[in-house]
Structures are given as C-alpha cells and as structure tokens.
Structure 1
Amino acid sequence: MTDFSEITAYSQHKTRVLIYSSYPKTAELVLHVLDFFGKKTDYILANGTSKTTDCDFVILETSDHQKATDFKANIALISDEMNSENLSLILKNITAGGVLVYPENKEETVSEAENYFRKLSFSDAEFKTEGEKILINTEMGEIPLGSSDANLVKNINGIKLLCQQFGIMEEDFYEAMMSFE
C-alpha cells in the first residue's frame, strides 16, 4: 500500500494511530510491545513495510507533515524531534475525542489547539549509560533498554503512554521494552 489515498480509504473505519516521527525505532518499539502482548494491529511504516489484515487498529508511521495531517488520527504520538511549526494542522485534524501524546516542549503549540482531544504530555526519561547499556530510571528501579538508541530514550515516556492506549500498563511495558533490540 504505497499510494496515500489507498491508505486513507483502508483506514477509514479503523482506529487510526499516528506515530509522527523521523526515527524508525519509535514505531519498531511500539510494534514490539504490542506483539509481545499479542495485541493485533495493522501498520504502514515509512520504510514501506506494512501489514494489513482485518484489525480494528492501524498504525501509520510517518515524518511527512501532509500525510500526518491527512491521516486524521484518533490517537497520535508526536516524537520529540518533530518541528513544532508543522503541528497546528495535524492537531486540527485529530479526531474529536481522540488522544494526543506529545513532548512537553511542544506544550505551547498543543495548548493552542481548538478541537477537543485528550492531551498527554511526556518528559524526557531519566537514564544513565553503563558501557553499551542504557538504564532507564523508573519508579520500579533502573530498567535496561534493549537498544542503545539515544533518540529512542528521548521518546520512551511517550511510547509508554501510547502503549497505555492499547491497555498495556507501565510494568508490562518495561517488561517488553527489555527484550527490544
């Protein structure tokens, strides 16, 4: 499914989940966690990989502002590195009653949104590096991240909040996160 009009038509009657990010590891971790717990979802990734079955949820990963806007997400994760200038149109097109997960450094832009949706901000994770390992500081103690990707660490709290929208709670999220590479 490469033509965006096909993606729009396909996702019309599904719960549309947007991952607005330029880092592929963000979507990869989300899909890993969902798969770890047997949560079925369709997805269309920026690298052209897709899975389309008959699931109720479809995830679109893109860094393309126009695609993110036209997708009209029910649930959206905006990753830390994305430019605030492009967010207002995306926010305008989030489905009323939807959910936005966003970095707290984008609070000013998000607060200007006129339509109604739930707003969940996230902060950078506290972490430390030991050799090649990254240890995320949590209420449960230090938990190793299976990846050493620094960009993933910046968005880990947002990814956790997004996974909670699928019913995966914090402790379970960290369990799956440890096996991600």
Structure 2
Amino acid sequence: MNVHFIAIGGAAMHNLAIALHNKGYKVTGSDDTIFEPSKSRLEEKGLLPEAFGWYPEKITSDLDAIVLGMHAKVDNPELLKAQELGVKIYSYPEFLYEQAKNKTRVVIGGSHGKTTITSMILHVMHYHDRDVDFMVGAQLEGFDVMVKLTDDNDFMVLEGDEYLSSPIDRRPKFHLYKPNIALLSGIAWDHINVFPTYENYVDQFKIFVDSIVTGGSINYNEEDAEVCRVVEASENQIRKIGYATPEYHVEDGETFIETSEGPMPIEIFGAHNLNNLAGAKWICQHMGIDEDDFYEAIATFKGASKRLEKIAESGSSVAYKDFAHSPSKVEATTKALKEQYSDRTLVACLELHTYSSLNTEFLKEYKGALDAADIAVVFYSPNAVEIKKLEAISEAQIAEAFQRDDLKIFTDPTEFKTFLFQQDFNQKSLLLMSSGNYGGLDFEALKAQFEK
C-alpha cells in the first residue's frame, strides 16, 4: 500500500508513518517544519522529507491513501491536489480504525489519565509477553514505538483523545474508533478553543459512550460525578462497570496498595494514579490477565513519560515534572506529591501555556488547584498570550483565580529561573507542571542544584 502523510512531523503522525513503514507499506510525507525527536526518528527510517514545504507534485493517482494531520491547513496545496485527483483522504484516527476494524478495539478515554492508563495496560501486556497492537501518546519504557500495527494481533489498544481529527474532519478522534471495550476516566472541561461551553465538551463524551459497539463494555470512574451521569444515562446496549480508587497507604515516601495478598509496594503514587491503576486492572482482566498477574506486572510500572516524572533527587529533596495543565490534573498532582512527601515543603510551579489556561473566562476553574502546595508559583508569558491572539491577562486576574494571597506570579523567564535557582531545596519537594518549558528553563542545570 502506498500512503502519503501531509504534516508527517507531528508526534502522532510520525509514529503512524513509522508503524506503517515497519508493516511494509510504502510511506512518503511532507511538512513545513519538523522538530526533534520526530526528525531523527523519521530520518532513521528513511522517511524524512528531502526538503521542508508542500509539494503538490508528490500527490499522484498512484497513491492509495492520504493521511492528513491537524497541523495542515484547509488550503494546503497537497490537500487541494489530493481532493482534485480524488485520492482517498483519511484523518489520523480514521486510518487507525481502518487498521483495527477486524480486531477487538480497546479505547481509553477521559479528560485526564488516559495516557497513564493506556501505558499501564501496555506495560502489563508486555510484561506477560502478550503481543497487542496499540497507539499511545507517550514514549514507554521497553517500547521503541508509540504506534504498533500488525495483521495478526487480536487486540488494539487506543488512547482516545477528544481533540479534533483533522482540518477537514472536525469530529473528536475518539468518536471514530468504535470500541468493543472502553474506559472513561474523568470529565473536566478542556480545549475551550474548540469546545466553548462545558455542556458542549460533555456532549463529546456522551457520543463516545454511544459509539461503543452493541454488546461491548465500558469501565468508568465512579468517583467522577459527571462520568457517572454520562455513562448511566446512555441507552446503548453495553455492560457498564464502575471502578474506584483502591485502599492504599504511604510509609516513608513509599506507597503500598492493598491487595488480597496484603500490602504491595508500587512505584507510582497519588490517589489519581491509583484510580488509574484500578481502571487499567479491569481492562487487563477483559483482555485475559487475571488479578494476581496484573499486580505482579504493575509493581514494576514507573509511569508514562512526562507524567509525574522524577527528574532529580538527593537525600532530603526531590524534583518532579508533570505534563499537567488542566485544573483537575494540577490539583491531583499537587496533592499526590504533598501526600507522598508529607514531611517536606512542597514548591509547586505551574506554567499557564495552553489556550484554555490563558483564557480569562477559564481561569476561574483553577480555584484551589494549588492549595496543597506550601509555596505556590504560577508562570505565564504575556508574549504567549499575544501569539495565541487571546485577551491579555493581568497578574491580579491570576491571583483572583487561584484564591491564594501568597501566590507567587512570574511573567519573566529570567526572574522565574532566578527564583528557582536561589531556592535551598533541603527538605523540599519541587513540582514543575507544564506542557511548555517555562520560557526556556534549563532542566539539566536545575537537576544539578539537587546534586550539590
């Protein structure tokens, strides 16, 4: 099969391109710019475009399919040529569904936790030598790819993102997978540039639940009131199975989960992660892994890349970074680190970086999100607000949103860096939460602070 990728350099797109190449397809692609690590990974497979830019002459009737990435615009020259020639155009999720339509599709959805839960499932399968197809949004330890496609495997595990499918297909990705087995971890308003009201956002999850094939099943977080409402109101003829956070305790900075065999130490921590674990256990049981085998495997799970990832540690201090940016995830992550190291001062730093977090109306959703921190810090770049063409926000609006009189607010990367590097981290925990990089923070230099 001959497949061309328009906007091949994206995190998801380049992984699908590599997966198809590994499967024996002829793969080509274009993009106007490609960053690391996508660039090196494509180059290693011989898939890196010879030159950046859009070349309509690459689009011919010999192509079996086009995969169109979100980075492309509706007037992209290659897209217009494909439409003119009548070449079949797929969005990323549409093409994944085509690859998985004869398999048992396991789809993990939710505003938060889906990458971690998907990673847990794949870790357990890998531990027990159960080969499955998959698509996950993070690089996993023990896996050299984020997308795997075969003709032989019975299951495909898909991380179900609610963001849009392509510039010409405005449906959320997870509406297109038609799961046999599904999970819904939580609903907390996000992506407000696409879903302008909370009700509109929740509607996407109702459609997801109704897209589960008749006779299928959904496991859902029964501790999330909105999830319960959405799942229980669905008239889809499916099995509905709730799950909840298991009993656990923290002892000397180590978390123990209660099992039928007694307390078991695990690498991950935080109530939200243990809730994720409960959901992953159910899905693995649907896939033929019994409870004892699940616990044996999950004991060695260290977490998904960029999700509550330990970046430095000394005898009396520790530093973590996390991809958290939504209010619910920020609150859960901050509580988790304070609980794990309750005898240390927690310095929690949040960068407001996404469209949602920099929106003046959405800011109020952050009320209480940093309350578990002893020292709470917010960084944002007024330049990022301008680039995103959003209404300017003031430090006073930030302070009002978080409802903390002692909140430290930085808008200058140099001043934020100075604050961090002047900290004495003895008997402290540092938490850096962002989907950005705090205006160019040198994480390697910061790690060195913990080695002094």
Aligned residues of 1:100 and 1:118 also touching (Cα < 8 A): yes
Structure 2 counterpart of 1:29, one-letter code: M
Aligned residues of 2:117 and 2:279 also touching (Cα < 8 A): no
The answer on 1:7 being equivalent to 2:76 is no
**Structure 1 residue corresponding to 2:173, chosen from 38, 53, 67:** 67
**Structure 2 residue corresponding to 1:114, chosen from 235, 252, 256:** 235
**Structure 2 residue corresponding to 1:58, chosen from 156, 160, 177:** 156
Q: Secondary structure of the equivalent of 1:142?
A: strand
Aligned residues of 1:132 and 1:148 also touching (Cα < 8 A): no
Aligned residues of 2:185 and 2:220 also touching (Cα < 8 A): yes
| TM-score for both structures, normalised by structure 1 | 0.90
Aligned residues of 2:94 and 2:177 also touching (Cα < 8 A): no
Aligned residues of 1:80 and 1:155 also touching (Cα < 8 A): no
Following the alignment from structure 1 to structure 2, what is the Cα–Cα distance between the partners of residues 120 and 140?
A: 24
Which residue in the other structure is 1:92 paired with?
210
Following the alignment from structure 1 to structure 2, what is the Cα–Cα distance between the partners of residues 8 and 27?
A: 17
| TM-score for both structures, normalised by structure 2 | 0.38
Matched residues, percent identical?
30
Could you list the per-position Cα deviations for residues 17-71 of structure 1 after superposition, in whole angstroms to 9, with x for gaps in the alignment? 1011433222111101111112111001124821112211111113325111211
Higher alpha-carbon Rg: 2
Which residue in the other structure is 1:32 paired with?
123
Following the alignment from structure 1 to structure 2, what is the Cα–Cα distance between the partners of residues 177 and 96?
A: 31
Count of residues in correspondence between the two structures:
181
Could you list the per-position Cα deviations for residues 89-108 of structure 1 after superposition, in whole angstroms to 9, with x for gaps in the alignment? 01110000111010113222
Aligned residues of 1:129 and 1:135 also touching (Cα < 8 A): yes
Following the alignment from structure 2 to structure 1, what is the Cα–Cα distance between the partners of residues 156 and 294?
A: 20
Following the alignment from structure 2 to structure 1, what is the Cα–Cα distance between the partners of residues 205 and 94?
A: 21
Structure 1 stretches of at least 4 aligned residues deviating more than 4 Å after TM superposition:
81-84
Matches within 5 A, 1:32-181: 32-47=123-138, 49-54=146-151, 55-64=153-162, 66-80=172-186, 85=202, 86-104=204-222, 105=224, 106-148=227-269, 150-181=271-302
Q: Secondary structure of the equivalent of 1:46?
A: coil
Structure 2 counterpart of 1:49, one-letter code: M
Aligned residues of 1:46 and 1:62 also touching (Cα < 8 A): no
Deviation at 1:82, TM superposition (A): 5.4
Structure 1 unaligned runs (5+)? none
Q: Secondary structure of the equivalent of 2:274?
A: helix
Structure 2 unaligned runs (5+)? 1-15, 18-91, 139-144, 164-171, 190-200, 303-452
Deviation at 1:12, TM superposition (A): 1.2
Deviation at 1:150, TM superposition (A): 4.7
| Aligned Cα root-mean-square deviation (Å) | 2.0
